[in-house]
Amino acid sequence: MSTQSIRRIGSLKNAVQFQDHLRSLDITIPVDEELVCGDTSPLRLPINGRGFTIGNRIAVQPMEGWDGTADGNPTESTERRWRRFGSSGAKLIWGGEAVAVSQEGRANPRQLLMAPHTEKGLAKLRAALIEEHRRTTGSDKGLLIGLQLTHSGRYSRPNDHLRPEPRIAFHHPILDRRLALPNDFPLLSDEEVEKIIDQFRAAAVRAWELGFDFVDAKHCHGYLGHELLGGHTRAGRYGGSFEGRTRFLREIVAGIRSDAPTLRIGVRLSAFDTVPFRHDPAESSNGNLGKGIPEEYNNLLPYRYGFGVNPSDPVESDLSETVRLLSLLQELDICLVNLTAGSPYYNPHIQRPALYPPSDGYQPPEDPLVGVARQMEATRFLKDKFPKLIFVGSAYSYLQDFLPNVAQAAVRLGWVDLVGLGRMLLTYPEILWDATEGRALQRKRVCRTFSDCTTAPRKGWPSGCYPLDSYYKDSVFAEEMLSAKKR
């Protein structure tokens, strides 16, 4: 499969053609042919948790912008993005973006940091978002704003975007090789993990004092929380058994509950994973990336290096531990769950299905709609098992022109509670709000998954939509992006 051989969504004229296309790919994605507008739209229905209400079914996914200051404060560009999050009309803001709990845990030197000197800046982001949200929807009733807290673990690059400073939970035979880590590269000790738990607690208290409604104890995308969930081979208190691998999460939750008793907690979770992929060198030519293929794993069976992965066939998912984890969340009285999958670093086609690969990616190994359907199906399965949890679903942006039709159907049928918007937010934040207002789709603003917003940070440039958003199109980095693509 290559980008050229994939049928463009933009070439499909209506929902009926889109459904035919889905059938031709033999995948199931629900599609409503007619969009309902006004308060009867499934996307406008409020949803209740214990002691709170979310005013509609639209959620903003966390989207980092690599545009903070060196000391972790937001800049004007960060504020602009948060204003756009507000203008989406979404009543659930899941994190805004990943905010590091410590300097050493930042994923890049421009990532936001939670610290005494950044409190004012973060409060300003929240206020700007609320102001814009009120302007769009008329009121901030039912608006729930969370902050995503993170430690980047293996993907920490706090000081220089070209210099990884990984903090790893266990030796991963494939991912260690990618970072050229020697066999004796030190693991985070249990004492260091405990210190990070304390940093999560302290960051949560600050978020609480700033008025955020909840924090996300991030467990996705290969960052520390997620890596620990897959730490089958890790010795000590934070690895090995399911109990050990979930201790980090449980201790963060207990700590927050004791220090910030009324703060709600959510978890963004990579529900399943697969082995790392790379581009097939046999297929690449003239600097073009080859198709994505899994790294060799036959010598690693049973595979013990991931979460939600079938150990005997690790390109397949296995949701049995995911189910266990969701039961645990329920026991911990956590009802806000945001499901995603895989990692943007080692299997981006799983995590954010796209037509065009980012600079460090590979040509799509499958039609990206298959990736969308995979995440939707896992979410449907888990929602069915845990009807009381409130689920946010991910990876809808590739649906493009048909995103509103699918979002409405998925909520109406109970496949998911809230539809989370990621990349589409960078180009067309109001897409679902517009649909529920009965406004026509603005096709020119639809994200076409060019992946510049992923390529940019890989090069150390601010992340944004270079092809479609004039703010970035006219920026000093736009030319560099163009020439990087030509190379």
Contact residues: ligand SF4, CB under 6 A: 423, 426-427, 447-453, 465-468
Closest to ligand SF4 by CB, 143 vs 403, is 403
404, 442 Cβ separation under 8 angstroms: no
> Counting beta carbons within 10 angstroms of the beta carbon of residue 208, is it exposed (0 to 12), middle (13 to 18) or buried (19 or more)?
buried
- Nearest approach, Cβ of 399 to ligand FMN (angstroms)? 8
- Nearest approach, Cβ of 425 to ligand SF4 (angstroms)? 8
- Nearest approach, Cβ of 77 to ligand FMN (angstroms)? 13
- Nearest approach, Cβ of 357 to ligand SF4 (angstroms)? 11
Bridge partners, 215 (sequence order): 147, 265
For residues 49 and 53, give the distance between their C-alpha atoms in angstroms, rounded to a whole number: 6
The interface partner of residue 421, options being ligand FMN, ligand SF4, none and the CB cut-off 5 to 8 Å by kind, is ligand FMN
The interface partner of residue 269, options being ligand FMN, ligand SF4, none and the CB cut-off 5 to 8 Å by kind, is none
- Options 59, 196, 382, 395; binder of ligand FMN; rule CB under 6 A: 395
Q: Which stretch binds ligand FMN (CB under 6 A): 56-64, 77-85, 187-195, 359-367?
A: 56-64
User: By Cβ distance, which residue is nearest to ligand FMN?
Assistant: 422
193 token code pair: 């993990």
For residues 370 and 393, give the distance between their C-alpha atoms in angstroms, rounded to a whole number: 15
Beta strands in 167-262 (DSSP E): 214-217
Q: Which phi and psi angles does 49 have, rounded to 5°? A: -110, -175
44 binds ligand FMN (CB under 6 A): no
- Nearest approach, Cβ of 88 to ligand FMN (angstroms)? 12
Whole-number Cα distances in Å, 183 to 154, 170, 171, 174: 15, 11, 8, 12
350 binds ligand FMN (CB under 6 A): no
- Nearest approach, Cβ of 421 to ligand SF4 (angstroms)? 11
Task: Determine if the peptide bond prior to 294 is cis (ω within 30°).
Answer: no
The interface partner of residue 97, options being ligand SF4, ligand FMN, none and the CB cut-off 5 to 8 Å by kind, is ligand FMN
- Options 27, 42, 43, 61; binder of ligand FMN; rule CB under 6 A: 61
For residues 363 and 356, give the distance between their C-alpha atoms in angstroms, rounded to a whole number: 7
422 binds ligand FMN (CB under 6 A): yes
- Nearest approach, Cβ of 243 to ligand FMN (angstroms)? 25
| Cβ-count burial 168-201 (b if 16+ within 10 Å, e if not) | bbbbbebbbeeeebeeeeebbeeeebeebbebbb
Positions that interact with ligand FMN (CB under 6 A) = 61-64, 97-98, 148, 220-221, 268, 340, 352, 394-398, 421-424, 453-454, 463
